[in-house]
Amino acid sequence: MRPIPDAVLRLAAHQDGLLARAQLRQLGFDADRVRSQITAQRWALRSPTVISTFTGQLTREQLCWLGVLHAGGPSLVGGYTALERHGLRHWPREHVTILIDDDARPEPVAGIRFLRTRRPLDRRRSSAQSSPSLVWSPPPSSPRGMRSTGARHKACSPRSSSKD
């Protein structure tokens, strides 16, 4: 068995163990080698286009990587998922939100909500150094027109009590 190239290992480490098939091809890792890793149960197929270099459960961060890599084109972590990654607490979501270009049509993936946008994604990248890229935009159902910080805080507080 040939060793896995260092470039593949470095990229996998950077992307929390997830790699797109296209990335593997660019690094000279052909489909037969990928198939042999999956057959040997060293790697796992996470979507038709994304492979993990491990076989266990995905963490939340890895689910974000899965969404961004599966989308294939320009994409960003968005919505409450981006806020969660910036420190938002007590607003759990079952899925992660990935913003994709309006023309993109990725196949559905369990646990991932793809949200199409006409806005340029390259301008929405966070200055945070974490990856995959973070962005937040208000969901369609968010309260609009609230100007008062106090009113916005009250409306967005996950645990507001009747004593407030």
Task: Note the pLDDT tens digit of each residue in 35-81.
Answer: 999 999 999 999 999 999 999 999 999 999 999 999 988 899 998 99
DSSP E strands, 21-155: 44-47, 50-52, 75-77, 96-101, 112-117
Between the ranges 19-28, 113-122, 125-134, where is the mean pLDDT highest?
A: 19-28
Q: What is the pLDDT of residue 123?
A: 62
CA 154 – CA 148 distance, rounded (Å): 10
**Residue 164, pLDDT score:** 41
**CB atoms near residue 106 (< 10 Å):** 19
- The pLDDT, as a whole number, for residue 139 is 43
How many Å apart are CA 61 and CA 5, to the nearest integer? 24
pLDDT of 125: 60
- The pLDDT value recorded for residue 129 is 42
Instruction: Assess whether pLDDT exceeds 50 at residue 18.
Output: yes
| Structure confidence at residue 150 as a pLDDT band (50, 70, 90) | very low
Name the β-bridge partners of 112: 96
* pLDDT value of residue 140: 45
Can you give the pLDDT at residue 127?
54
- pLDDT value of position 159: 45
What is the mean pLDDT of the segment spanning 13-29? Answer: 95
